[in-house]
Structure 1
Amino acid sequence: MNEDVTSMMPAVTRHLERLSESIGKLPCRVHAYVAGGAAVNHHVGGRISNDVDIKWSHRIAIPPDLQVFTIEGESPETRNLIAMDGGFTDVLGSFPPGWEDRAEHVATAGDIVIHVIDPVDLAASKVARFQDRDRDDIRRLAQAGLVDPDLFEARVREALDFYVGDTTFVQWNARDAEEIVRDAAPGLSNREDTLDDPSP
């Protein structure tokens, strides 16, 4: 986890503590699985996302006054307005099956247990949309040494197995994403050059 001043998770945890207090005692633990830009921020720091993508284990009615919160920026006069995405779902993305089981437990806020998606699953989840920001996030995760290329390819294939319909464009995205990961993974290019070099 990156501990720099732009880390979102402490503020997200405090906000979920307020949400837990607002909801009151629950009959069972509720699990909150953080994905998207907030998860990228947790793993490698950098940009602050303007929303928090959370998949809930149970249906949660977020009160209107808790649907938005703020995070202090790097300077005292900088404040970032963050929206809670209460309607986030992993159905339309390229999330590998079982990603919730692999998510990292980072905190507990009352009866809310907070997890962050695994870096490899996070990179795979960005293949479906694959916009410029998604490409950059995949690259940064790989550059940080958090995404093994072979495991990434396997997780993407698992995700594609759950698609229904024409997956042509997603397959193209997957090939491009796999190339990004292999190019960005630390030391991988050097190892491949060594393997290709016939000299002793």
Structure 2
Amino acid sequence: MNTPMTDAILQLFSNLGEELARRQVPPGAVHAYIFGGCAVHLYAQSRASTDVDAEFAYPQPLKSELMLILADLPPVDYDDPEEGPSQLAYDPTFNPTLGPLHMDYQDHAVPLEGIRESPVVVMLPSIEDIALSKLGRLGDVDLEDILTLLALPEASWERFEQLALEAAKYYVGPDLTPNLAHVRRKFDERRPS
């Protein structure tokens, strides 16, 4: 079942796809990988976000056109059941290189349903890849997001840990080991005995 926020996410990318189609961009030319609060929401329906964090993969000749369209992409209005009238906008400041990310995250991602024959294929990275992307900063919201994601029945702590340890080999930020250990303690505290 789609939530109003899920519908808003899909509408934002549908609007992007329509604009690209008007410019003769063929179906499937652009892949958008969703991260941040929107990705957490798509998996767990647990929280809202006002912006969409997305990493794009596209043919190099499309770069300037895509950036121009994204800069002018209007926000999507929707009615959040808890917050009331809300808006969802694309976040142009999102940069996936600031946090840890497994080099194969695109291979682990799955396409979202809902936008057919669009120039934009909306991809949702795996639960474990989304959780990993939040491990570097590990603020309160990041920790809660990671714990929420890893509590889902289809999530795997072992897979998350494996991806984190592999990504730690090339992540340029601080050592991930203390953050991983902290998440493990909190994860174990929440697990039913």
Same fold per superposition (TM over 0.5)? yes
Q: CA RMSD for the aligned pairs?
A: 2.2
Distance of 2:92 and 2:121 partners within structure 1:
16
Helix, strand or coil: the match of 2:145? Answer: helix
Contact conserved, 1:149 with 1:182, CA < 8 A, in 2?
Answer: no
Matched, 1:66 2:65: no
Which of 10, 13, 32 is the equivalent residue of 1:13? 10
Q: CA 1:154–1:183 in 2, change beyond 3 Å: closer, same or farther?
A: farther
C-alpha change, 1:164 and 1:143, in structure 2 (3 Å) is closer
CA contact (8 A) 1:72 1:79 kept: yes
Question: 1:119–1:147: 8 Å Cα contact kept in structure 2?
Answer: yes
Asked if the contact 1:152–1:178 (Cα under 8 Å) also holds between the matched residues in 2, the reply is no
Say which one has the larger Rg.
1
Per the TM alignment, residue 86 of structure 1 is displaced from its structure 2 partner at its CA by 2.8
Residue 98 of structure 1 pairs with residue 104 of structure 2? yes
Show structure 1 runs of 5+ residues with no match: 191-200
Tell me by how many angstroms 1:148 deviates: 1.4
1:179 correspondence with 2:185: yes
CA–CA distance in structure 2, aligned partners of residues 183 and 155 of structure 1: 22
The residue aligned with 1:55 is: 55
For the residues of structure 1 that align with 2:11 and 2:3, how far apart are their CA atoms? 16
Q: Which amino acid aligns with 1:17?
A: S
C-alpha distance in structure 1 between counterparts of 2:136 and 2:56, whole Å: 21
- Quote the Cα distance in structure 2 between the aligned partners of 1:112 and 1:30: 5
1:120-174 Cα deviation digits (max 9, x unpaired): 1111111001000011111111222243121111111111111236x34x32112
Partner-residue secondary structure (3-state), 1:33: strand
Q: Cα offset for 1:98?
A: 0.6
| CA distance in structure 2 between the aligned counterparts of 1:153 and 1:130, rounded to whole angstroms | 15
- Asked whether the 8 Å contact 2:44–2:152 carries over to 1, the reply is yes
Does the alignment pair 1:113 with 2:124?
no
TM-score, normalised via structure 1 length: 0.80
Alignment partner, residue 142 of structure 1: 150
Residue identity in the other structure for 2:25:
L
Task: State the TM-score, normalizing by the size of structure 2.
Answer: 0.83
Structure with greater contact order relative to length (CA < 8 Å, sep ≥ 6): 2
Displacement of 1:67 after TM fit? 4.2
Q: 1:141 to 1:82 in 2, by over 3 A?
A: same
1: CA distance, partners of 2:154 / 2:189: 14
Cα deviation for residue 36 of structure 1 reads 0.8
What SS is found at the alignment partner of 2:10? helix
The answer to whether the 8 A contact 1:147-1:181 is kept is no
In the other structure, the counterpart of 1:194 is none
* Maintained 8 Å contact 2:9/2:88: no
- Cα distance, 1:52 vs structure 2: 0.5
